[in-house]
Amino acid sequence: MIKINNKVLDVSQIQPVIQSAKSLEILHLLAGYPNVYEYASLGELEFEIQLRLRVIEAAISLENSHAEFSTLEESLSNKQYWHLSKNGTFTLLPRVPPHVAIVDIFLNGRLYAFECGTAIVVTFLKAILDLIGPRDFDYLFKDLFLYDWHPPKNMALLVHKGRDYLPGDNLYFKNPDHDEDTPEWQGENAILLGQNQFYGHGIGITNSQGIIDELNGNRKPNASISAFLTQHIISLDSSYYRPFQTNIPRVTPVHSPSSLSNLIVSEIGQTLYLS
């Protein structure tokens, strides 16, 4: 259920169209879950949807960058922008703007290798950058580092357990019978792209069964417990980044939906209707 300023938002009258299918998928999921998602305005809701769309686009771009999967100890980076320690920590070099170093991962992915936790952090960072712009991004992440699933300062996350999965969420597939000699196969962090499509670094873009099959193919001998999708959900906290939206160029990405502000809003009693 979606509430805007304490009024229930009814989205049942919105008809999907090609250019807005992804945002409508998110909107209908938010409205259909029993959880209550509260926003002070339609603008706040739209900002969250736009942030989720940037996460999806960043995940697809990272897959297309050809950055490799590796263990922490075997990580690789572009030495022009990052200092890479033996334990796999990426530290920004002096005088390198954070946004430049993040964009380089997507432009020169063949120079990089990292595990799936770092891939999710990189994906989230690129989504934030694409939405708030380089100036505020550099301000927020001036002390940027990358290490596994350790979010840098000012990466605001929401963490909860449930099955209210939304496109743009990071979900976790657990592999309880993984081989102890290959701990990197103990599970997979994956971005939900929508319509049962996921991006998992090192596995690629596939459905949930595809990720489970890949994990099941990397278990200890005589394993009996299948990998499975957990209820652990992590997403970016859109409310943390919305104050920076005044600096956003109002340009809609090529595959992004039309703005919610283009829809007609009507109010009857305690219900808002979008059409």
Residues 6+ apart with CB under 8 A from 240: 156
| Own/partner pairs, 7-11, CB within 8 angstroms, 24+ separation | 7/267, 7/270, 7/271, 7/272, 8/270, 8/271, 8/272, 9/45, 9/271, 9/272, 9/273, 9/274, 10/271, 10/272, 10/273, 10/274, 11/274
* Rounded CA separation 230/242 (Å): 29
Please state which of the ranges 6-10, 129-133, 204-208, 240-244 shows the lowest mean pLDDT: 6-10
- 165-191 per-position pLDDT tens digit: 999 999 999 999 998 888 888 999 999
Closest by Cα among 141, 152, 195 to 22: 195
How confident is the model at residue 269, as a pLDDT? 57
pLDDT digits (tens, 9 = 90+) for 11-25: 776 755 434 688 889
pTM of this structure: 0.89
Using only the alpha carbons of the chain, give its radius of gyration: 19
Give ∠ CA 264-247-141 in degrees, rounded to 5.
125
| Contact indicator for 233, 164 with CB cutoff of 8 Å | yes
pLDDT at 254: 36
> If we measure between CA atoms, which residue out of 132, 111, 128, 131 comes closest to residue 120?
128
What is the model's pLDDT at position 111?
98
Bridge partners, residue 158, by sequence = 235
Higher pLDDT, 100 or 10: 100
Contact 67, 140 (CB under 8 A): no
For residue 240, what are the CA distances in angstroms to 51, 85, 86, 90, 142? 11, 31, 33, 25, 17
What integer pLDDT is reported at residue 98 of this predicted model? 98
Mean pLDDT, residues 196-216: 96
Q: For residue 124, which phi and psi values (nearest 5 degrees)?
A: -60, -40
pLDDT at residue 106 tops 60: yes
Q: Output the six-digit token pair for 248.
A: 């956003």
What one-letter code names the amino acid at 37? Y
According to the model, what pLDDT value does residue 222 have? 86
The CA distances from residue 21 to 44, 56, 256, 258, in Å, are 19, 13, 9, 9
How far apart are alpha carbons 45 and 19 in whole angstroms? 18
**pLDDT value at 81 more than 90:** yes
Q: How confident is the model at residue 271 (pLDDT cuts 50, 70, 90)?
A: low
By percentage, how much of the chain surpasses pLDDT 70? 86
Residue 260: the pLDDT is 60
Position 268 scores a pLDDT of 57
Rounded CA-CA distance 149/121 in Å is: 7
Strand partners, 170: 191, 234
Question: How confident is the model over 216-260, as pLDDT tens digits?
Answer: 998 988 889 999 999 999 999 999 999 998 644 443 333 443 456
Check whether 61 has a pLDDT greater than 80. Answer: yes
Mean pLDDT of 83-99: 95
User: For position 274, what pLDDT does the model report?
Assistant: 56
